[in-house]
Amino acid sequence: MGNGIWLVAAAGNAASADTALRWLTVVVALIGLSIAGNQYRTSHNKLRLDLFEKRYAVYRGLADLFAAVINHRLTEAEIGKFFETTDAKRFLFGEEVERYMETAWKNAEAILHFQQVTDPSKHAGPSMIEKARVDCEIARKWFAEQTPVLSKPFQRYLGFRSILDGTT
């Protein structure tokens, strides 16, 4: 009879060892799932941060163009820098931002054109100079009106809440 008790006890230990092993497997799987979830959130947040940084660089390129116009230091190099820093705009923003930036570029071009035709070495005629002057005035007025609200078209994309929520 002593051997029978030992066999029952051994069978009971094997069953509890099997149960413990199953629970350990479940715990390890849950820990792995938790780690995977954290890695997903981390990589998703990194992606949103990278997107924000790229969008902000485009915004800064536009702000630099505005600064060049407002401070009367617009050059072909400044417009080239604008294109270089904002080239990705069509991939990072909606059409409204792309149109806004195109309008800024066209107005900057009008100002630069006036600077060029008024250069005495260019020998531009009076009618060409007058047209360029009018276009330049219109462009400068546009920049003056837009300066206080420059960030408005970008708020949807650069706003703190939209970055946290991942809505854009």
Question: One-letter amino acid identity for 72?
Answer: H
Q: Which CA distances in Å does 83 have to 23, 80, 143?
A: 60, 5, 18
Q: How far apart are CA 97 and CA 103, in angstroms?
A: 10
Contact between 154 and 97 under an 8 Å Cβ cutoff? The reply is yes
Per-residue pLDDT at 53: 93
Element holding 106 (H helix, E strand): helix 95-117
Q: Which CA distances in Å does 59 have to 96, 138, 153?
A: 14, 23, 10
Q: How far apart are CA 113 and CA 122, in angstroms?
A: 11
How crowded is residue 61: how many other Cβ atoms within 10 Å of its Cβ? 19
Question: One-letter amino acid identity for 125?
Answer: G
DSSP character for 122? Answer: G
Nearest 10 degrees: CA dihedral of 13, 15, 20, 25?
140
Per-residue pLDDT at 100: 96
pTM of the model: 0.75
Spans in the chain with pLDDT lower than 50? 6-9
Per-residue pLDDT at 7: 45
The two tokens of residue 41 are 């959130």
Domain extent listing, the chain: 51-165
Per-residue pLDDT at 122: 79
Contact between 86 and 61 under an 8 Å Cβ cutoff? The reply is yes
